[in-house]
């Protein structure tokens, strides 16, 4: 057991009290001493190991404080956790991540308003147009195993640039008549390929940006803001798309906007992440082997219960979110009485859903942190199921539209809370691979659920989006309740 000590303890965690025949009060290390220890750790590690030195400086933690911290490093490491402003370049990296997330939200939400126009343009049915969701998921799944490997070999900045370059190619294919790259109208199979490229690129950028935000102090709030930007893109995307097609533009004209975002985000990613690896958190003491195979993290990550259950949770979450975003407009058009002249303006219902998601991520994330992310997710998921039942049963189109927006509101903070919990249950060295795998499975849910909705709707009607979403909320609850318990931090 550690010796009794009086006085203030240092904030450095993870070291146990010095064992020896003569217990002694430990002096708190100064900043200069810590810097010297970090600079000369190669010389000091053998002596520390031979002497069996273990120290323990820590502050008592409340349950919420413990739950809201980044994941604990292994016991043989002490890490300096970065913040949004330390190093200073982090604020620009976060801004770049937020803008990438904004453009991803604009991409993912637009099909909800554009699907009827895509179906009419190519004269295809629900099942065929649903292949767009499947293509995105395949891109995610194929990209996931390579995320950690690419980050190791190319570094974060180059991987983000690669992702935005691939997105640029995909958007150029879709909006071919609006660019100088090609002079022909993109056939539907080419559009499917472009959605595949988008999924490939988004898997890498989403995983790296999630890990970046989760590794900073105040991670839940930052993740909420990061995903709030996604929700903002999800809100303005259908608005812009609806205005464009209502004004006579063709549906693919919308993607020229995303083409510009991809180019700008790629350039910015290169400049703000050039020194990311040299700025990244450095262990003060570490004896972790550095010659492990680069694929070891992925293999270990997908064997962890947290990774598997987290993947199931995000699979169901994104399945419900994308199904509602993509099919709720078709459901309202088919089942709720409305004047024909009102049909184009109903595209704003999708924006209402994403506006709710955005407000939820910005306004409710802090409250979720205060009560604890585990409990918050359970409460919000239950409320979402009740509200979705109201969407299904309320016959008035205005009432149903309001309920759709409220579903988005309570769904908003769930993703950020979940990633925050996953990052604390997983080992630091496996986190990137695990988050990439979880994100890939989430995208699979965002493809499988809308695809099934389209296939079943072809025979039964678009009302099936409601029981499907409620069933996915139930699956979320089951996966969440079976996650491993948060480990108690030793004092």
State the pLDDT at residue 342. Answer: 56
Contact 358, 232 (CB under 8 A): yes
Output 407 or 304, whichever has higher pLDDT: 407
CATH number of this structure's domain 90-481: 1.20.1250.20
Contact 38, 77 (CB under 8 A): no
State the pLDDT at residue 301. Answer: 74
Alpha carbons 458 and 460: distance in angstroms, whole number: 6
CA angle 71, 475, 417 (to 5 degrees): 30
Alpha carbons 96 and 100: distance in angstroms, whole number: 6
Q: Is pLDDT above 70 for 295? A: no
Q: Is pLDDT above 50 for 57? A: no
Q: Is pLDDT above 70 for 452? A: yes
Confidence tier at 167 by pLDDT (50, 70, 90): very high
Alpha carbons 212 and 366: distance in angstroms, whole number: 19
3-state helix, strand, coil in the chain (%, to 5): 75, 0, 25
Output 298 or 35, whichever has higher pLDDT: 298
Share of the chain above pLDDT 70, in %: 75
The number of CA neighbours under 13 Å toward the Cβ of 396 is 4
pLDDT (mean) for 231-236: 87
Residue 220 tokens read as 């839940």
Q: Is pLDDT above 80 for 140? A: yes
Q: Is pLDDT above 50 for 454? A: yes
Contact 229, 101 (CB under 8 A): yes
Residue 76 tokens read as 């043989």
Alpha carbons 178 and 54: distance in angstroms, whole number: 65
Element (H or E) spanning 237, and its range? Answer: helix 219-246
Alpha carbons 352 and 387: distance in angstroms, whole number: 14
Domain boundaries, the chain: 90-481
280 φ, ψ (degrees, to nearest 5) = -65, 160
The 10s digit of each residue's pLDDT in 187-201 is 899 999 999 999 999
State the pLDDT at residue 269. Answer: 94
82-96, 209-223, 310-324, range with the lowest pLDDT? 209-223
Output 383 or 11, whichever has higher pLDDT: 383
Contact 457, 465 (CB under 8 A): yes
38-42, 126-130, 203-207, 287-291, range with the lowest pLDDT? 287-291
In whole angstroms, what separates CA 227 from the centre of its chain?
A: 7
Contact 330, 115 (CB under 8 A): yes
Contact 11, 65 (CB under 8 A): no
Place of tokens 């120290």: 55
pLDDT (mean) for 114-134: 87
pLDDT (mean) for 215-233: 85
Beta carbons within 8 Å of 37's beta carbon, 6+ residues apart: 29, 44, 284, 285
283 φ, ψ (degrees, to nearest 5) = -65, 135
The 10s digit of each residue's pLDDT in 35-55 is 554 544 444 444 444 344 444
53-57, 83-87, 460-464, range with the lowest pLDDT? 53-57
State the pLDDT at residue 478. Answer: 96
State the pLDDT at residue 480. Answer: 95
State the pLDDT at residue 260. Answer: 95
Most confident of 11-25, 58-72, 189-203, 412-426: 189-203
Alpha carbons 204 and 156: distance in angstroms, whole number: 10
Contact 328, 380 (CB under 8 A): no
Q: Is pLDDT above 60 for 474? A: yes
State the pLDDT at residue 33. Answer: 53
The 10s digit of each residue's pLDDT in 320-362 is 998 898 888 888 888 877 665 555 566 678 888 988 988 998 8
Alpha carbons 118 and 125: distance in angstroms, whole number: 10
């Amino acid at each position: 057991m550690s010796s009794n000590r009086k006085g203030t303890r240092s904030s450095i965690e993870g070291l146990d009290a010095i064992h020896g025949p003569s217990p002694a009060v430990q002096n708190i290390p100064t900043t200069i001493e810590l810097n010297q220890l970090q600079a000369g750790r190669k010389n000091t590690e053998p002596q520390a190991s031979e002497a069996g030195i273990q120290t323990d400086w820590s502050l008592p933690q409340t349950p919420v404080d413990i739950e809201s911290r980044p994941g604990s490093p292994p016991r043989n490491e002490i890490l300096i956790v970065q913040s949004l402003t330390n190093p200073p370049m982090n604020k620009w990296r976060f801004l770049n991540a937020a803008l990438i997330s904004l453009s991803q939200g604009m991409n993912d939400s637009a099909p909800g308003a554009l699907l009827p126009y895509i179906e009419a343009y190519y004269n295809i049915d629900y099942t065929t147009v649903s292949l767009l969701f499947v293509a995105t998921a395949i891109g995610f799944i194929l990209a996931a195993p390579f995320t950690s490997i690419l980050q190791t070999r190319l570094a974060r900045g180059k991987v983000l640039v690669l992702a935005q370059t691939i997105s640029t190619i995909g958007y150029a294919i879709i909006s071919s008549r609006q660019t100088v790259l090609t002079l022909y109208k993109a056939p539907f199979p080419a559009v499917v390929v472009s959605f595949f490229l988008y999924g490939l690129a988004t898997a890498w950028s989403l995983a790296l940006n999630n890990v970046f935000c989760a590794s900073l102090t105040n991670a839940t709030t930052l993740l909420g803001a990061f995903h709030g930007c996604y929700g903002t893109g999800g809100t303005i995307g259908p608005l812009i798309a609806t205005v464009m097609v209502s004004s006579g533009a063709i549906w693919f004209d919308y993607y020229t906007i995303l083409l510009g975002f991809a180019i700008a985000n790629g350039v910015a990613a290169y400049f703000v992440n050039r020194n990311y690896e040299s700025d990244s958190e450095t262990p003060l003491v570490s004896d972790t082997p550095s010659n492990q195979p680069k694929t070891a993290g992925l293999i270990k990550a997908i064997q962890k219960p947290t990774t598997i259950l987290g993947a199931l949770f995000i699979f169901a979450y994104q399945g419900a979110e994308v199904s509602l975003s993509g099919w709720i407009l078709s459901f309202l058009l088919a089942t709720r009485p409305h004047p024909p002249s009102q049909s184009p303006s109903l595209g704003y219902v999708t924006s209402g859903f994403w506006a709710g998601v955005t407000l939820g991520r910005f306004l409710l994330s802090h409250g979720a942190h205060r009560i604890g992310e585990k409990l918050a997710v359970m409460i919000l998921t239950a409320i979402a199921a009740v509200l979705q039942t109201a969407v299904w049963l309320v016959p008035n189109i205005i009432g149903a539209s309001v309920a759709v927006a409220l579903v988005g509101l309570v769904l908003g903070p769930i993703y950020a809370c979940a990633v925050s919990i996953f990052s604390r249950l997983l080992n630091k060295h496996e986190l990137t691979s695990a988050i990439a795998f979880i994100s890939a499975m989430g995208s699979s849910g965002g493809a499988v659920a809308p695809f099934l909705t389209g296939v079943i709707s072809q025979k039964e009607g678009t009302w099936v989006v409601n029981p499907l979403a409620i069933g996915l909320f139930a699956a979320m609850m089951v996966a969440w309740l079976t996650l491993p318990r948060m480990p108690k931090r030793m004092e």
